Amino acid sequence: MNFESINYSDFKVKTPYPEITNTQKDEKIIPYLIDSYAGGKSELTAITQYSYQSFITKPNKNYIGLSEILIRIAMKEMHHLEILSQIIISQGVNPKYCKYIDNNYNICQSWSTKDVRYITDVKEFIEYNIKLEEGAIREYTEIVNTATNPNIAEIISRIIQDEESHIEIFNKILEIIENNN
């Protein structure tokens, strides 16, 4: 199968990310931000998941171009991780790779690779990726709906647009797989 017909740039959201300008503390959303940053189905998990998938498809001549698409999506997730880290810092919390389990953000449960799904069937892992992205959109929508800081809500809304474009890309990949089976 050839995935070179999928041009990542065709799916790229053109709207710039808003700058972090309002550091007003928003206690309600900090746990959501931390979970989206380094929880079980977080940006950190997505980066690791998509990188793994890129690595296993790269040497396989049956999936031409797929590795490059996956690594580009992983790189976009890295940008989201960076944005979330800056928002978390603006809220006075250390952005560790963990899920805090106390109200003072001192005790945390470390992020683990156990949350990465080592699926090797391409169709199956693309379907899983769609579910992962849909879950991220739900979590981010919860942040937007809960946020009292409009700057943070605006930034997270922009990240949602990227996640929606990732679903479009994964659906295009699925279409190519299904048309070749």
CATH number for the domain including 30? 1.20.1260.10
**Among 92-106, 113-127, 158-172, the least confident range:** 92-106
Is 56 within the bounds of a domain? Answer: yes
CA distances from 126 to 54, 59, 177 (A): 11, 18, 10
Can you give the pLDDT at residue 47? 98
Domain total in the chain? 1
Is 21 within the bounds of a domain? Answer: no
Can you give the pLDDT at residue 157? 98
User: Which of the pair, 124 or 99, is modelled with greater confidence?
Assistant: 124
Is 126 within the bounds of a domain? Answer: yes
Is 134 within the bounds of a domain? Answer: yes
> What is the rounded CA–CA span in Å between residue 155 and residue 107?
27
Is 62 within the bounds of a domain? Answer: yes
> What is the rounded CA–CA span in Å between residue 125 and residue 63?
13
* Average pLDDT over all residues of the chain: 94
Query: 128 lies in which domain range?
Result: 26-179
Can you give the pLDDT at residue 1? 84
What percent of the chain shows pLDDT beyond 70? 100
- pLDDT band at residue 89, thresholds of 50, 70 and 90? very high
> What is the rounded CA–CA span in Å between residue 138 and residue 161?
12
Can you give the pLDDT at residue 70? 98
> What is the rounded CA–CA span in Å between residue 125 and residue 105?
34
Is 57 within the bounds of a domain? Answer: yes
> Please, which residues have CB within 8 angstroms of residue 25's CB and are 6 or more apart in sequence?
91, 92, 149
Q: What is the mean pLDDT of residues 159-176?
A: 97
> Of 169, 158, 174, 6, nearest to 74 (Cα)?
169
The 10s digit of each residue's pLDDT in 18-46 is 999 988 999 999 999 999 999 989 999 99
Is 11 within the bounds of a domain? Answer: no
pTM (2 d.p.): 0.95
Is 16 within the bounds of a domain? Answer: no
Residue 151: is its pLDDT beyond 90? Answer: yes
